[in-house]
Amino acid sequence: MSQGIVTVVGSYVTDLMSRTPHMPKVGETVLGGPFKMGPGGKGGNQAVAAARQGSAVYMVTKVGDDEFGAYARANFTKETINTQYVFVDPVEATGAALIAVDDNGDNLIVVALGACGTLTTEEVTQASQVIAKSDIVLVQLETSNEAVIATVALAKGHGVPVILNPAPYHEFPREILQDITYITPNETEACSLTGLKVDTEADALQAAKAIYVMGVPNVLITLGKKGCYYYHGGESGKLYPGFEVQALDTTGAGDAFNGGLAYALASGQALGEAIIHANAVAALSVTKVGTSPAMPTIDEVLAFKAVDKL
C-alpha cells in the first residue's frame, strides 16, 4: 500500500519545557526540572508524526535566521521531511513555546509564533505544485490566517482534501469551512467554534452537528483519553474509544492524532480505520516526554494495535 504524500502548512516553534510539581499560581516561583529543549509547533509536530508513520511529508513554514531556525531545518532533515518550503525570515526570530508539565502529565503552554506567524500567501503559493500532488493537506491555526486561507484555496483548486486542526483556536474566516474535508477540534476548540460546551458524548453530537451545518462534511471531535467522536450527518455519530495508557506528558497528543490521521488517510485507509490509527498514535505519544520527540514510529503503532487486536 502506498504511504501517501502529506503536505503540512503551519507552525514551527522550539519547545522549551520544564517539569513542575504543580502549576504555579500568579506570582509564584516553583522549583522544577529537568529542562528540555526540542523541536515543536503544531505544524512541525504533525509533520513529524506523519513522517514517522511512513508518509512522504513536505513542510511549509517559516523560521528565523538564527540558531533555533538552523535547529529546525536540521531536525526536519533528520526526520526525512522535505524542507524546500521552510522559508527563512531575515528579521523575525524563530518561534518558541514555553511549556510547563506537572506531575499529572497536564500542561500549560505559551507560544510566541515569531517567524512562522508571518507566513504569506506568496510563500504558500510557491508550494502549489507540492500541494497539487499531495494526498492530504494538513493545516492548523498556529500561523497567519493569510497562510491558512491560501492553503485551503490551493488545495481546493487542485482537488486535494484538507484536514483543518483549528488549534490554537482564534477567529478565522468561517467561509473556508465549506472547503474543508475534515475538521479536528478538541472539546475546547469545538466549544469556541460553536458556543456549545462539550463535556459528554451527547454534547459532542450537538457540537458536531453545528459544525457540520457550517459546511464541513467530516467532523472529528477529539476527546482526550475518551477517544474521537465522528459525525457525518444524520441523527447520530460514532465514538471511537481511546486506548488505555499511562500518560506521562499529554503535550502534543492532538498533534499526534492529526499527523496519524493524515498518514492513514493519505495511505488509503478508510476513515474509521484511520481514526483508530490516529487514536493509537496519540495514545503512544503521551507515554513519552516532549512533543515531536515523543511521536511514535509506524512499527511501534502497529505493535501496539496488534496487542489490542485492532
Annotated binding-site residue? 82: no
Q: In whole angstroms, how far apart are CA 25 and each of 101, 108, 110?
A: 14, 12, 15
Annotated binding-site residue? 249: yes
Annotated binding-site residue? 225: yes
Residues 6+ apart with CB under 8 A from 195: none
Beta strand 182-183 with 218-222: parallel, antiparallel or unpaired? Answer: parallel
Annotated binding-site residue? 43: yes
CB 271 within 8 A of CB 218: yes
Annotated binding-site residue? 222: yes
Annotated binding-site residue? 159: no
Q: Which of 66, 135, 255, 308 is catalytic?
A: 255
Annotated binding-site residue? 15: yes
CB 137 within 8 A of CB 143: no
Residue type, 120: T
Annotated binding-site residue? 223: yes
SS3 120: coil
Annotated binding-site residue? 224: yes
Annotated binding-site residue? 45: yes
Lookup: cell for 28: 509564584
Q: Is 66 among the catalytic positions?
A: no
Annotated binding-site residue? 14: yes
Residue type, 22: H
Please count the CA atoms within 13 angstroms of the CA of 167 that sit on its side-chain side.
Answer: 26
Annotated binding-site residue? 288: yes
Beta strand 162-165 with 136-140: parallel, antiparallel or unpaired? Answer: parallel
CA 219, 253, 73, 113: dihedral to nearest 10 degrees? 80
Q: Could you tell me which residues are annotated as the binding site for substrate?
A: 13-15, 41-45, 142, 255
Q: Which residues are annotated as a binding site for ATP?
A: 186, 222-227, 254-255, 279
The residues annotated with a catalytic role in the active site are 255
Annotated binding site: 13-15, 41-45, 142, 186, 222-227, 249, 251, 254-255, 279, 285, 288, 290
Instruction: Enumerate the known binding-site residues for K(+).
Output: 249, 251, 285, 288, 290
